[in-house]
Copies of this chain bind each other. A is one copy, B any other.
């Protein structure tokens, strides 16, 4: 049973390797009649693309969007909606020196053991480049959700140990870290730039807030909306944890502290993070993810080669010293796809 499709009603299948011909995505289940253009998708692609600042990789990828199918006279037709992004700036020869080595923290070892064959050029299918297809699909999902006024915003809450204080959703795109606090952003940038110089990398935490979700999305008992969001986001490379609402803090709370009370205006608190019993409450959905430090670092590390010989490796190349700024649009995309999926599933379940 293959694993490259996500979503049961709004269903995406991504394809492509970082140094092959192209990457892309098919959306199946997209309702007809939605106006969407390559330009709109391009805007989201540009948020994800490398080379945006000093805290992201200087690698260049044009990430030019081509809609291949599923559209007619500017509107979706209800047939598979395909977006393709041709690869450019591929330098496969740059990987010749590591083609027999397993880079620490990378999926080289596991792919080699699973498939018995390994596309060593820039991580192949395990590359972050695979997420380009997800972001293209996410842009379409966001457009669809916008018709229901649903909005999704993610941001760097913490990076390299520095945490945002007050959260201001309006300034996220104004700083290279996509942090929600300008002052914290400045500190983060300084710290990450310094780590980059040292050939090191930093982890962080990204928070995501989804507003105006109707009550009733989520299909218990397994396809609960938090379960599906967790799967969606943990499926991203480098994400090592997720928590909803009060999250791990909830484990330290008492029932008297954690329960969200209601009055006639609705919920008075949102420790649940907008989801109870796997179904949306109508409050904001709030979740946070743990992002590990980038695996590619320019320092000597110990590893083995495919024959089991012990080796030393330095991963030169062009890498993000901190993943959080570029993972922000990807997290938003996976959230948008999950919510879009459940919105369609919700519609199917109306009383007969």
Contact = CB atoms under 8 A, between A and B. Distances in A.
Given A262-B104, A281-B109, A297 B255 contact: yes
28 contacts: A1-B345, A3-B218, A4-B26, A14-B80, A15-B70, A15-B80, A21-B69, A29-B348, A33-B352, A34-B351, A34-B352, A72-B124, A77-B125, A104-B262, A111-B279, A113-B279, A114-B218, A126-B220, A144-B352, A203-B253, A204-B251, A222-B235, A227-B230, A240-B250, A241-B241, A241-B248, A250-B291, A258-B293
Q: Which size bracket describes the interface of A in this complex?
A: 35 or more
Contacts of A209: none
A53 interface: no
A110 B276 contact: yes
A303 interface: yes
Given A221-B125, A247-B240, A303-B262, A33 B351 contact: yes
Contacts of A290: 243, 247-251
Given A254-B195, A302-B262, A345-B1, A110 B279 contact: yes
Given A226-B234, A310-B264, A28 B9 contact: no
A219 B191 CA distance: 36
Contacts of A302: 261-263, 268
Q: What's the number of copies of this chain in the assembled complex?
A: 4
A219 B271 CA distance: 33
Contact of A297 (B5, B256, B304): B256
A107 B100 CA distance: 51
Contacts of A105: 255, 258-260, 272, 276
A349 B278 CA distance: 23
